[in-house]
């Protein structure tokens, strides 16, 4: 089709079009200036958050205010991120070039909300401190966060309006078709966030253009597909909020596209409104049965179309909010689960979650192991606190891993002492054998640290086997602990063991003597017990190396080694 003389004339520059270009340039200059002012105000607000949070972080160090540190660090971190995003998203050269980075604004808004929420939490905690200066500084941070949210919203509206009201100079000379095409391609990063991204699927170009021209001015981001295959490919590459889907198309028709969308977990949540020139009831029922959200006959009523679109998008937003909430809830539950399992054995944690209270169990037989570093008190006075904690954390983390490999339960750490038990909360027959294997591996690990750092990581280890009571104590900082004579005697074995030695009681020796080597038994006077027969564990017997306890995760607990 050739353009009419009137339409051709519209493509020729006129005095009026030149005037429009000049006006557009003036509007662009004013717009850039307004963005610069907003950027300046945002930097001021965020700078206040950074400055006050830095001062408060310095103040909470020591003085019993360490619990406030995590939220203050979060505030400072999010403020730093906001500064970087404002610098990137509102860069003058980008604004002048027509780049609208709504993602940076969206992320800035999310950061500001996190700052506001953290400030509220801190204000609740800080009231107990009765420190007016501290509370006043927190209030200033909260006010700056609120102002940041307000400015981000204003900036977002400013950028969104600019897409509609400030055309580039050359667009005055473009054809109407080019203007329409740009109206649904350019604003995707802004308008899709404001109203929603819609995919129009129809084999007739006239229908696609009609929907595009009706929906684009309302702020929807529109993409189009001319057949079913193209629609499915488009959705895979760029998720949308709503699909307007024609039923009768050559090749893959709308019914088949709908079935594939709803069968795919990645796309089944996208609302679909079916469009058709046929208004047969069986077609409508079939589409709804397959999962379509609505049905509109052609030619459709514009008001009804808008109402159905907004209804479907509202449902989609609610589902998205629900999904996001459930995802956050799941993440928080996983964090709680990990924290709980850091404190309690899994079987005990499961019993607590089921509502059981006053957990206390008798175990007829278990093996308790204690370790302690020799001369660690003197060592701690020669190195700095950070280095001390780093080394303890490193070696105890290695011990934690060994406990997991041997299927034993770490009970607690006290200073540089470490307590482990075998045979509970899940009973196992080879608890003494597993504890002995762990003790020997702990010695090797300590020797490695000593050789590497040149520091004396020499240990004493004590082991005892017998009946124990195990249970959960406390309400806030609860713990799973052991009681009984067996525990006390294991601790005595550790304190009487020679440096670098593993001292075991006679009850433990009876269970290990076939597979492990020991020094000859020796009577030892133990406080509160009198003289007891004790043995030094030296290692595994050669013949026992093929029948010893296997590490968990690599082999079974029993079998060939």
pLDDT in tens, 110-158: 888 899 888 888 888 877 777 777 888 888 888 888 888 888 888 877 7
pLDDT exceeds cutoff 90 at 318: no
Mean pLDDT in residue range 408-435? 90
492, 482 Cβ separation under 8 angstroms: no
Q: pLDDT band at residue 302, thresholds of 50, 70 and 90?
A: confident
Mean pLDDT in residue range 73-96? 82
Q: What is the pLDDT of residue 453?
A: 62
Q: What is the pLDDT of residue 199?
A: 92
Q: What is the pLDDT of residue 21?
A: 41
Q: How far is 141 from 119, CA to CA, in rounded Å?
A: 7
pLDDT exceeds cutoff 80 at 342: no
Q: What is the pLDDT of residue 17?
A: 41
Q: What is the pLDDT of residue 558?
A: 37
Backbone angles phi, psi at 541, to 5 degrees: -75, 150
243, 231 Cβ separation under 8 angstroms: yes
Measure CA 324 to chain center.
12
Burial 348-363 (b: 16+ CB within 10 A, else e): bbebbeeeeeebeeeb
- CATH code, 13-170: 1.20.120
60, 129 Cβ separation under 8 angstroms: no
Q: Is the pTM of this model over 0.85?
A: no
Q: Which residue has the tokens 């200036």?
A: 33
Q: pLDDT band at residue 434, thresholds of 50, 70 and 90?
A: very high
Provide the Cα torsion 287, 291, 293, 298; round to 10°: -20
pLDDT exceeds cutoff 70 at 64: no
Residues paired with residue 413 on neighbouring β-strands, in sequence order: 418
Q: How far is 364 from 484, CA to CA, in rounded Å?
A: 11
What tokens does 113 get?
């909300």
Range scoring the smallest mean pLDDT among 80-89, 115-124, 236-245, 397-406: 80-89
Specify the 3-state DSSP secondary structure of 374: coil
- CATH code, 174-322: 3.40.50.2300
Q: How far is 127 from 138, CA to CA, in rounded Å?
A: 11
pLDDT exceeds cutoff 70 at 404: yes
482, 422 Cβ separation under 8 angstroms: no
Q: How far is 415 from 392, CA to CA, in rounded Å?
A: 9
Mean pLDDT in residue range 22-39? 66
143, 150 Cβ separation under 8 angstroms: no
Mean pLDDT in residue range 26-37? 71
pLDDT exceeds cutoff 70 at 356: yes
pLDDT exceeds cutoff 80 at 19: no
Residues with Cβ within 8 Å of residue 288, at least 6 apart in sequence: 295
Mean pLDDT in residue range 38-57? 79
Range scoring the smallest mean pLDDT among 77-91, 174-188, 372-386: 174-188
Q: Which CATH class is domain 346-546?
A: alpha beta
Q: How far is 360 from 473, CA to CA, in rounded Å?
A: 9
What tokens does 422 get?
């075998």
Alpha-helical segments (H) within 409-527:
431-453, 485-496, 506-512
Report the half-sphere exposure of 379 (CA within 13 A, side-chain side). Answer: 17
Range scoring the smallest mean pLDDT among 293-297, 407-411, 494-498: 293-297
Q: What is the pLDDT of residue 483?
A: 92
Alpha-helical segments (H) within 265-360:
281-290, 302-343, 346-353
409, 343 Cβ separation under 8 angstroms: no
pLDDT exceeds cutoff 50 at 169: no
Sheet architecture: strand order including 221-225: 221-225, 197-201, 242-246, 272-276, 294-297
Backbone angles phi, psi at 435, to 5 degrees: -65, -40
274, 296 Cβ separation under 8 angstroms: yes
Mean pLDDT in residue range 301-320? 83
Q: What is the pLDDT of residue 553?
A: 43
Residues with Cβ within 8 Å of residue 420, at least 6 apart in sequence: 368, 369, 403, 408, 409, 410, 411, 435, 438
What tokens does 543 get?
């013949």
Q: What is the pLDDT of residue 124?
A: 82
pLDDT exceeds cutoff 60 at 8: no
DSSP code for 558 = S
Q: How far is 67 from 64, CA to CA, in rounded Å?
A: 8
Domain range summary for the chain, segments of one domain joined by +: 13-170, 174-322, 346-546
348, 480 Cβ separation under 8 angstroms: yes
Sign of the Cα torsion 399, 401, 407, 413 reads positive
Mean pLDDT in residue range 519-532? 88
Average pLDDT in the chain: 78
Residues paired with residue 460 on neighbouring β-strands, in sequence order: 372
pLDDT exceeds cutoff 50 at 343: yes
Helix axes 254-263, 228-237, angle to 10 degrees: 30
Q: Which residue has the tokens 């993602």?
A: 103
pLDDT exceeds cutoff 70 at 9: no
Q: How far is 397 from 13, CA to CA, in rounded Å?
A: 76
pLDDT exceeds cutoff 80 at 188: no
Q: Is 475 exposed, middle or buried (0-12, 13-18, 19+ CB in 10 A)?
A: exposed
Pick from 227, 287, 216: which is nearest to 252 by CA?
A: 227
Mean pLDDT in residue range 191-207? 75
Q: How far is 208 from 40, CA to CA, in rounded Å?
A: 43
């Amino acid at each position: 089709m050739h353009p009419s003389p009137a339409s051709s004339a519209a493509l020729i520059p006129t005095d009026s079009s030149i005037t429009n270009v000049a006006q557009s340039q003036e509007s662009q200059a004013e717009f850039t200036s307004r963005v610069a002012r907003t950027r300046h105000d945002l930097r001021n607000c965020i700078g206040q958050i950074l400055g006050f949070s830095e001062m408060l972080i310095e103040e909470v160090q020591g003085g019993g205010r360490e619990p406030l540190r995590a939220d203050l660090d979060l505030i400072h971190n999010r403020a730093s991120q906001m500064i970087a995003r404002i610098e990137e998203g509102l860069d003058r050269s980008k604004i002048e070039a027509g780049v609208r980075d709504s993602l940076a604004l969206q992320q800035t808004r999310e950061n500001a909300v996190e700052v506001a929420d953290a400030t509220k939490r801190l204000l609740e905690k800080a009231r107990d401190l009765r420190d007016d200066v501290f509370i006043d500084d927190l209030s200033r941070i909260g006010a700056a966060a609120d102002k940041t949210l307000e400015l981000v919203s204003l900036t977002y509206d400013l950028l969104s309006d600019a897409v509609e009201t400030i055309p580039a100079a050359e667009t005055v000379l473009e054809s109407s078709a080019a203007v329409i095409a740009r109206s649904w391609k350019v604003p995707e990063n802004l308008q899709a966030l404001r109203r929603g991204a819609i995919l129009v699927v129809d084999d007739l170009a006239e229908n696609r253009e009609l929907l595009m021209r009706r929906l684009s001015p309302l702020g929807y981001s529109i993409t189009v597909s001319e057949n079913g295959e193209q629609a499915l490919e488009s959705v895979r590459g760029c998720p949308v909020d709503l699909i307007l889907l024609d039923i009768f198309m050559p090749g893959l028709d709308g019914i088949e596209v709908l079935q594939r969308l709803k069968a795919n977990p990645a796309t089944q949540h996208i609302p679909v409104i079916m469009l058709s020139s046929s208004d047969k009831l069986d077609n409508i029922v079939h589409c709804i049965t397959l999962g379509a959200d609505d049905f509109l006959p052609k030619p459709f009523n514009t008001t009804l179309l808008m109402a159905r679109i907004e209804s479907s998008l509202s449902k989609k937003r609610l589902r998205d909010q629900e999904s996001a909430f459930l995802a956050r809830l799941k993440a928080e539950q996983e964090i709680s689960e990990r924290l709980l399992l850091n404190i309690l054995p899994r079987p005990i944690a499961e019993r607590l979650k089921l509502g059981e209270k006053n957990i206390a169990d008798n175990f007829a037989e278990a093996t308790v192991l204690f370790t302690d570093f020799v001369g660690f008190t003197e060592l701690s006075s020669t190195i700095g606190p950070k280095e001390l904690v780093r080394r303890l954390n490193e070696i105890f983390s290695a011990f934690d891993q060994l406990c997991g490999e041997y299927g034993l339960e770490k009970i607690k750490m006290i200073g540089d002492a470490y307590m482990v038990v075998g045979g509970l909360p899940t009973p196992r027959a080879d608890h003494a054998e597993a504890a002995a294997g762990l003790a020997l591996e702990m010695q090797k690990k300590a020797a490695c640290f000593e050789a590497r750092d040149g520091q004396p990581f020499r240990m004493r280890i004590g082991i005892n086997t017998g009946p124990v009571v195990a249970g959960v104590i406390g309400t806030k900082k609860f713990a799973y602990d052991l009681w009984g004579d067996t525990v006390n005697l294991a601790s005595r074995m550790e304190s009487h063991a020679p440096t670098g030695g593993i001292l075991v009681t006679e009850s433990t020796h009876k269970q290990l003597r076939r597979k492990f080597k020991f020094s000859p038994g020796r009577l030892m006077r133990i406080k509160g017990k009198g003289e007891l027969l004790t043995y030094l564990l030296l290692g595994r017997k050669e013949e026992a190396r093929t029948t010893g306890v296997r590490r968990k995760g690599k082999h079974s607990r029993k079998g060939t080694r």
